[in-house]
Structures are given as structure tokens and as C-alpha cells.
Amino acid sequence: MRVIRPALSRRTVLRGAGAAMALPFLEAMMPSAKAADLSSRPKRLQVFYSPNGMTMPDFLPTATGADYVLPSSLQPLAPHREQIAVISGLGHPQAAAMGDRPAGHGRSCPAFLTGAHAKQTEGPDIRAGVSMDQVFAQHLGDATPLASLELGIDTASLLGSCDINYSCAYTNGISWLTPTVPLPVEANPRAVFERLFGDGDTDEAGRLAQLRRQSSILDFVMDDTRRLSGQLGMEDKRKLDEYLDATRAIEKRIQRSAASPATTQAANLQQPAGIPDDFAEHVKLMIDLQVLAMQADVTRVGTFMIGRELSNRTYPEIGVPDSHHMLSHHGNNPDKMAQLAKINRYHMEFFAYYLQKMKDTRDGEASLLDRTLVIRGSAFGDSNEHDYMDLPVIVAGGLVKGGRHSRVEKGTTMSNLMLAGLQTLGVPAAKFGDSTAPLRELTDA
């Protein structure tokens, strides 16, 4: 006689003294008849944002359809060609001045995920719109412990205006919970880890003490882990081990970073403890945390900013000693354009890393990427012109058809893409931002 065990609760966590760890999505959490059914897996949304626009000749393919050639800035995505779709011609009409004073970044950045016209203000009376990621998060409700995760590399600017006549709140992040509440971006990997797993220490002294002990959250939940492992099948045991190994590897990297002396950025701003000295390590660590959060189903919604809008970071590691923002206003100087193109390609390498991490992370018989809609873009196309009407947009993941370049009619609002994306994710939305219709280029098979 076959004994059928009840499905393991999706809310099951590993518990120990002062610690709690969510579990990855396991076969034991589903009725056996649905365990191998990909369509029963949760859908996810991830957004990858690069600041300061793009050198469009190095980004835009010249041909459309499936036979396009990857330009130099897109070449790092060659291993993922069949999982990506380039969509050109999209813009944000709401980023236009509409009678306001001149500005570029301050209007275009908040429009990127909201399709809304930002109120011109340097004060606290900011206003834009609800962003696409938060519409999806609200649709999911309390399906996950965290509604969403907003990560980045740069700490926020808090005072004054960052773009002329516009509050820094407009360029610090891209996620808006309500039209008046932007969500803060977290740049410290240790703070992210504690948000995901909550070790109970909230003050700096407690965190440093734990670092000196080099203790692991896994040590605290070891007994619960052993108990649970005895209830799992071979595939779930493998997946649990993989998840725990990834968690410990990230912990060790965070501990090394937090234990090192604080260093300075190019702008001579002191970094909080926990942020790696090395830019590439910092980016990869934040991406790994984002993927781990999805793997554990702590959240299904995430945004990642590889730099805040107006970023003045320099990149000497790739031979670019000049400021990113200054280079974005290149005045068509070939040398400056070449340096900007290097930065664009460098950022694309991290996007390729992002896709590979999701592709390598199992989700039942498939991968995280197979059930995730990924949007990669910037608030500008040609940054020298502050061109918000021809954006460098890539969509990726198994929820859309990849391996192609689609060119839409110039002037088509990006809100149409976001509306189609929400519908693909199962949100019964009829309108988003200034949308006119779902973008068929996203959904057509």
C-alpha cells in the first residue's frame, strides 16, 4: 500500500536560536500530480536598470527578426541569445517637459517603471506613479514573506536636488509603492542578508561581534535542517543542500567584506561596513542575494540598479578613469563615446551574469529563468540628447519568446510593454501608466 504524505506547507521555515530561514520551492510542497508541471510554478518579475543612458549605435541591432547580429554592447549576452528579445523604439512620452523647466534624469528615471509624469519639485511633495513591479507585488498579496526586494550599488542621495528642480528621490530608485512613496534601494549586502534571514542583531556592535565569531545562520538552524531532510525525497534533498551551500557561500563573502576596513568611492564617500571594496564583487554579491531570495521564494519581485541615475562612478578597472555621468554627455566626441560604450558593455556583462545565475538555479524540472519575466533597460537611449523616446530595452526569460529583435513604431509608450508584462504575469490589468494597448511584440508567439 502506497502512503501519500501531505504536501509540505509553503510557509515552512528552518528555525533556530534567533534565526529563521525560508525554504526553496520543493517538490514536497506540491501535490505529487503537479510536482513536474512547469505551469504550476510561481511566476516572477525582475528588473535590471543601468543609469545614464546608452551609446545606441553599439546597442541597437541593424536587422530585425531572429537573424540579427549582436552589436558590441550586446555581445556578452551571446550565451543567452535564445532567452532574450531586444525591443527598440519604445519611449516614455511622460518624461517630456510638458511646460516644466528643463531637466532630464529627474523626469525620465521615475517614468521608467511607472509611465507617469513626475511632479517638478525639490521638496517633500514628490509625485510620480505606482511602478509595474509594485502592481505585481500587490497582485501577489502575502504569497511571500517579502513583497519585493529593491537592491542597488549606490547609497541614496538624501538632500537637495540631484537634477535641476527635481528631488533626489526621483533618481535614487525606480520602484514606487504609491504615487508619493518611492521605495528605498538597499546597497549593503549584509543588511539585505539580515532582511532575508533575520539574525536578530540590529545594532552595529552586535553585527561586528557576529562577524568576529564567523558564525553562520546555518549553525543555528542545523537541528531543524536535519529533521526536515529526513522527510524529503532525493531530489528535494539535493535542492536543499544546493540552497544551503549557496547561502553559506554568500555569508562568507559578506563576512569578508564587512570585516575589512571601510574604503572610499571615487566621490570620496565612506562606504558602510559590509559593502565590498571591489565593484564587480559588490555587483555579483547583490545579484546572488536577489537570486537566493527568489530561490527561497522569500519574494518573487525584485529590482536591481547597477548605479543610481546621475552616477559619477569611474571605472579604472576597465580603463575608464572619467565620470560615468560626464561621459554620458559626450558631445559626440569619439573618445568619450568609446569610453561610455565600455561602461555599457561592462554593465551588460553583469546582466549576463544575472541571467546565468537564474538559468543555473533549479526550479523543479526547469530553472528560475524559465518562470521569470526579466526587463533590462535605462531611462535614456542617447544620453547626450537625454532621448527618452528610443530606449534600450531587453526582455528575457521563459515567459516570453526570445531570440529576436523587434522594432516598434517610434513613439510607442513603454507602458504598453509593462501592461503586456503584467498580463503575462497573470495580473488582470486593462491599463498601466499611459498605455494604449498591450505590446503585441512581447506576447506574440
Q: Residue 142 maps to which CATH number?
A: 3.40.720.10
Closest CA to 10 of 140, 141, 143: 143
Are 434 and 358 part of one and the same domain?
yes
- The reply to whether 140 and 60 lie within a common domain is yes
Considering 237, 254, 274, which residue would you say is the last residue of a domain? 274
| Average pLDDT along the chain, 445 residues, taken 10 residues at a time | 51 59 67 55 96 95 95 98 96 92 86 96 94 98 92 76 85 96 92 75 48 56 68 72 73 67 40 75 95 91 96 95 95 96 98 97 89 97 93 97 95 97 97 97 77
**Do 197 and 181 lie in a common domain?**
no
Structural domain including 252 reads 1-40+193-274
pLDDT on residue 281: 95
Same domain, 176 and 302: yes
User: Do 178 and 240 share a domain, yes or no?
Assistant: no
**Same domain, yes or no: 408 and 286:** yes
Instruction: Verify that 136 and 281 share a domain, yes or no.
Output: yes
Same domain, 436 and 303: yes
- Phi first, then psi: give them for residue 231, nearest 5 degrees: -100, -5
The reply to whether 233 and 291 lie within a common domain is: no
Q: How many domains does the chain have?
A: 2
Q: Are residues 357 and 250 in the same domain?
A: no
Residues in the chain: 445
Whether residue 190 contacts residue 65, with contact meaning beta carbons closer than 8 Å, is answered with no
Task: Read off the DSSP letter of residue 104.
Answer: S
Q: At which of 253, 274, 295 does a domain end?
A: 274
| pLDDT given for residue 194 in this prediction | 83
The grid coordinates of residue 125 equal 511633495
**Confidence (pTM):** 0.84
Q: Residues of 388-410 as b/e, b for ≥16 C-beta within 10 angstroms?
A: bbbbbbbbbbbbbbbebbbbbee
Same domain, 36 and 174: no
Q: Identify whether residues 36 and 122 lie together within a single domain.
A: no
pLDDT at 170: 94
* Of 226, 249, 274, the domain-final residue: 274
